[in-house]
Amino acid sequence: LLVIGHTPQPAQAQINSQRHKAALGRRDLFTLHASRIDPELSWMAGLHLHYGHKPLLLVAPDGSVLRDVVGGQLFADIGGSIGYKQWVEAALVVPVALYQHGEGMADDSKPAVAGLGDIRLDLKLNLLGKDKSLFGLAIVPRFTFPTATDGYLGDESVTVTPRLVLDLKLPRALL
């Protein structure tokens, strides 16, 4: 009698170590969303490079570092946005890990040297405030989709992170 069995392998840790998430709207700045959207049909494309130093560590209760799970990450966020009539804007971002290193959680789960992160979609809805308004208010739900090629570059499932943006437009002044 021959019995062939399958021994399941332990799954690699699924911990999203990417902390810096660029906001690629036309009026956004680095990771900050602005409530305002350009009039008419407007679009932009962009490349945002960033490096994370020790974004994921295993730390003992006394504060000593036990393990550099992910010791460093060099990312390129590639994407663009399209806005319409000062009311709605959609931004799509594809994060690409150009290089990462670390020890991983265990000897067999070291981070991949490079890979794709979770694709992000930001939908900005302007609720209050146009170009000449003093105050602006918008809601920006961020959706991520599980496209990561490594367990340290994304989440296991679709995620939704709602954001509320309130801003104040100050008049320009010469200093």
pLDDT, tens digit, 9 for 90 and up, residues 93-123: 999 999 999 999 876 788 999 999 999 999 9
CA–CA dist 160, 50 (Å, integer) = 23
Side-chain half-sphere CA neighbours of 81 within 13 A: 25
Verdict on whether the full-model pTM lies above 0.85: no
Structural contact between residues 125 and 139, judged by C-beta atoms closer than 8 angstroms: yes
